[in-house]
């Protein structure tokens, strides 16, 4: 099939390379001409495992193209995916200006029957607006331009795998023709046994927002539980493990710590809350999920204050700056929210991340950057583990502690074993687990 993709960010670019890999002729376009030039040269503008290799594979076999003029991506296309950004407005509403503009562009350049597919995460009801925009732009093609919703369930760091081996393919459409077109787009994946769930458009749009909001809710639930564990002496890791053994609950997304970040959960949760209240239903606990997520940063600050007393003049090392391991993406990263708060309180902040350093420097230039974990720890009064990159799990803890002004660790992702921290002489504060205070640490090091 001939497929056009408007917007080559995380979602759009993964869509381009995976559809070319499935055998389609794909043409991606973006308003950023530099990005298009970079993609034409086979370079990905961001890191995602296997993405660059597949980009080069698609370009060299001639199935993948990038153009800066959208007409070329649209003219011959059977299907056009809209995967432009939907950033939050100050109100929390998803800003759909780029979606409307992309829709009008498709209509302007379409030459015949074409399925226009929402790939970006959009509030329920967007397809209706998009359809209207298409018809206004091209009344002559009113019956030829149909809209469908095909939300992505890509998780950064696993996006290519998620695209080629998804848990489910979700398609919302209004005609058998549109469903048939989408079955053809994903034919090889469906043939390998993946279920395609076919619904109306409003259901598909809502199911995507609901999935992200529910995952965020689980994280906030376990973080609220962590606050309770800290007050009772219980261990949230063990509580999560026990809960997770019930197959009705499961263990996924029950890891307490610094909470969720990234370009999806924070934005989608608030957008769902906004669209819900605009439709006359308050959906009360969504705001609470976001509030508990913000509280995780305050809880980490309290631990740091408890360990260091005043912040002024203290040097604090942050290990991990990206919003999760496996990506250089720092959008809404909890590490950066914590860094901003520490800087406001007068601390010196030094950070290290295996991949997110350049992006972090751009977002919070006041963070000093280090060349590795040990460099970051040198002279620090406290280390905070913010993102659970594998390389942090194998740190030489004794060496780390020796380099620091005081061996104090705040574990924002609950990755270290308390006994190992105690043996390495650390005062250790984790989320929702009993702390090892400086007094405990020194009492245990006495003969």
Shortest reach from residue 271's CB to ligand UGA, in Å: 11
Instruction: Write out the residues near ligand UGA by the rule CB under 6 A.
Output: 121, 152-156, 212, 215, 219, 253-255, 257, 259-262, 264-265, 323-324
Q: How far apart are CA 69 and CA 11, in angstroms?
A: 20
Shortest reach from residue 82's CB to ligand UGA, in Å: 15
Nearest residue to 297 via CA among 412, 427, 433, 437: 412
Which DSSP string do the residues of 225-260 spell out, in sequence order? HHHHHHHHT--HHHHHHHHHTSTTT-STT---SS--
The two three-digit tokens of residue 100, written as one number: 């409307």
114, 79 in Cβ contact below 8 A?
A: yes
Q: Which residue has the tokens 């458009």?
A: 201
8, 66 in Cβ contact below 8 A?
A: yes
Shortest reach from residue 22's CB to ligand UGA, in Å: 19
Q: Determine how many CB atoms are found less than 10 A away from the CB of residue 403.
A: 18
Secondary structure (3-state) at 186: coil
Would you say 152 or 328 has its CB closer to ligand UGA?
152
Shortest reach from residue 14's CB to ligand UGA, in Å: 10
226, 236 in Cβ contact below 8 A?
A: yes
Shortest reach from residue 65's CB to ligand UGA, in Å: 25
Would you say 155 or 418 has its CB closer to ligand UGA?
155
325, 393 in Cβ contact below 8 A?
A: no
Q: Which of 27, 114, 229, 264 is catalytic?
A: 264
Q: Which residue has the tokens 């309180």?
A: 345
Would you say 265 or 428 has its CB closer to ligand UGA?
265
Is residue 16 annotated as part of the catalytic site, yes or no? no
Shortest reach from residue 176's CB to ligand UGA, in Å: 27
Q: How far apart are CA 289 and CA 267, in angstroms?
A: 12
Shortest reach from residue 126's CB to ligand UGA, in Å: 15
Shortest reach from residue 147's CB to ligand UGA, in Å: 20
Q: What is the side-by-side order of every strand in the sheet holding 64-67?
A: 64-67, 25-29, 2-6, 79-82, 114-118, 145-149, 168-172, 195-199
Q: How far apart are CA 87 and CA 79, in angstroms?
A: 24
Shortest reach from residue 208's CB to ligand UGA, in Å: 7
Q: Determine how many CB atoms are found less than 10 A away from the CB of residue 57.
A: 16
Which DSSP string do the residues of 100-153 spell out, in sequence order? HHHHHHHHHH--S-EEEEE-S---TTHHHHHHHHHHHH-GGGTTTEEEEE----
Would you say 8 or 121 has its CB closer to ligand UGA?
121
Q: How far apart are the first and last CA of the chain?
A: 74
150, 119 in Cβ contact below 8 A?
A: yes
Q: Determine how many CB atoms are found less than 10 A away from the CB of residue 445.
A: 10
Would you say 103 or 412 has its CB closer to ligand UGA?
412
Would you say 25 or 30 has its CB closer to ligand UGA?
30
DSSP state for residue 408 in the 8-state scheme: E
3-state helix, strand, coil in the chain (%, to 5): 45, 15, 40
Would you say 4 or 262 has its CB closer to ligand UGA?
262
Catalytic residue list: 264
């Amino acid at each position: 099939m001939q497929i056009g993709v408007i917007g080559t960010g995380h979602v759009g670019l993964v869509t381009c390379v995976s559809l070319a890999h499935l055998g389609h002729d794909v043409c991606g376009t973006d308003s950023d001409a530099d990005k298009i030039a970079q993609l034409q040269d086979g370079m990905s503008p961001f890191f995602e495992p296997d993405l660059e290799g597949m980009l080069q594979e698609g370009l060299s076999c001639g199935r993948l193209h990038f153009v800066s003029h959208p007409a070329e991506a649209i003219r011959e296309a059977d299907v056009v995916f809209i995967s432009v950004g939907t950033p939050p407005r100050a109100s929390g509403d998803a800003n759909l200006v780029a979606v409307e503009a992309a829709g009008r562009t498709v209509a302007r350049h379409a030459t015949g029957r074409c399925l226009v597919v929402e790939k970006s995460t959009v509030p329920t009801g967007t397809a209706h607006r998009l359809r209207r925009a298409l018809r206004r732009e091209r009344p002559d093609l009113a019956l030829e331009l149909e809209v469908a919703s095909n939300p992505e369930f890509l998780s950064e760091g696993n996006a290519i795998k998620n695209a080629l081996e998804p848990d489910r393919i979700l398609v919302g459409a209004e005609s058998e023709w549109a469903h048939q077109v989408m079955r053809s787009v994903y034919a090889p994946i469906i043939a390998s046994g993946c279920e395609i769930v076919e619904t109306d458009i409003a259901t598909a749009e809502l199911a995507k927002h609901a999935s992200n909001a529910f995952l965020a809710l689980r994280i906030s639930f376990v973080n609220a539980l962590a606050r309770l564990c800290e007050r009772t002496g219980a261990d949230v890791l063990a509580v999560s493990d026990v809960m997770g053994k019930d197959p009705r609950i499961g263990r996924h997304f029950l890891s307490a710590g610094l909470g969720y970040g990234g370009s999806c959960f924070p934005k989608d949760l608030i957008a769902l809350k906004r669209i819900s209240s605009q439709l006359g239903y308050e959906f009360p606990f969504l705001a609470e999920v976001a509030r508990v997520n913000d509280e995780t940063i305050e809880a980490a600050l309290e631990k740091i204050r408890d360990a260091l007393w005043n912040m002024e003049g203290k040097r604090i090392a942050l290990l991990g700056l990206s919003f999760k391991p496996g990506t250089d993406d720092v959008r809404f990263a909890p590490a950066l929210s914590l860094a901003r708060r520490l800087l406001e309180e007068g601390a010196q902040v030094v950070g290290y991340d295996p991949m997110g350093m350049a992006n972090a420097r751009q977002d919070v230039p006041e963070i000093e950057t280090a060349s590795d974990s040990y460099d970051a720890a040198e002279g620090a009064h406290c280390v905070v583990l913010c993102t659970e990159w594998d390389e942090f799990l194998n740190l030489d803890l004794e060496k780390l502690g020796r380099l620091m002004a005081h061996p104090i660790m705040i574990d924002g992702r609950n990755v270290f074993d308390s006994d190992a921290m105690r043996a390495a002489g650390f005062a250790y504060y984790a989320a929702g687990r009993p702390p090892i205070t400086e007094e405990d640490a020194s009492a245990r090091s006495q003969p």
